[in-house]
Amino acid sequence: MDAAAQKQRALAFLDQMNHPDAGVLAGLIADDFEFEFMMRAPGVKVQKRDQFLKWFPKIMKSWFPNGLNMKFDTVVAEGPHVAVQARADTIAGNGKHYNNRYHFFLRFEGGRIAQAREYNDTNHVRETFFPEQPV
């Protein structure tokens, strides 16, 4: 798969953050897929393919019922990797304004995404969804 096709597939995957569909996601990710939030927080762990396909659409629809409103900025592909800078601006399911910035690092195997790492402003996530947790 060439760099342009990898970029297109990476953006299709990340666009699923707006209104996730497990069937669409399943067609984009590898059998050994892993999703990882790059933060340290209670309960945060690597999600394997089956866990991700069950958990991700449910949590995204709960936290962001109107979608994440994800916009993509810089997209770079080299070898089996695609890096994407993005931003979100929406109202969370709890009524709070959510405005975060992201960096995603994706690794491809063949034509599918084998690994996705999400970097974001974790303090903003905490303030929006878990304000009772100490910093």
| CATH class of the 3-129 domain in this structure | alpha beta
How much is the pLDDT for 123? 86
Residue (of 61, 53, 3, 57) closest to 28 by Cα position:
53
pLDDT, the chain, mean: 92
How much is the pLDDT for 133? 66
Angle in degrees, CA 84, 95, 101, rounded to 5: 15
Angle in degrees, CA 86, 61, 20, rounded to 5: 60
Domain spans in the chain, listed from the N-terminal domain onward: 3-129
How much is the pLDDT for 28? 98
How much is the pLDDT for 42? 62
β-strand partners of 29? 113
pLDDT digits (tens, 9 = 90+) for 28-77: 999 999 999 887 666 668 889 999 999 999 999 999 999 999 999 999 99
How much is the pLDDT for 46? 84
Residue (of 120, 62, 57, 61) closest to 88 by Cα position:
120
How much is the pLDDT for 8? 97
Pairing between β-strand 47-48 and β-strand 71-78 as defined by DSSP bridges: unpaired
Share of the chain above pLDDT 90, in %: 79
pLDDT digits (tens, 9 = 90+) for 85-121: 999 999 999 999 999 999 999 999 989 999 999 999 9
63-98 residues labelled b (16+ CB within 10 A) or e (exposed): bbeeebebebeebebeeeebbbebebebebeeeeeb
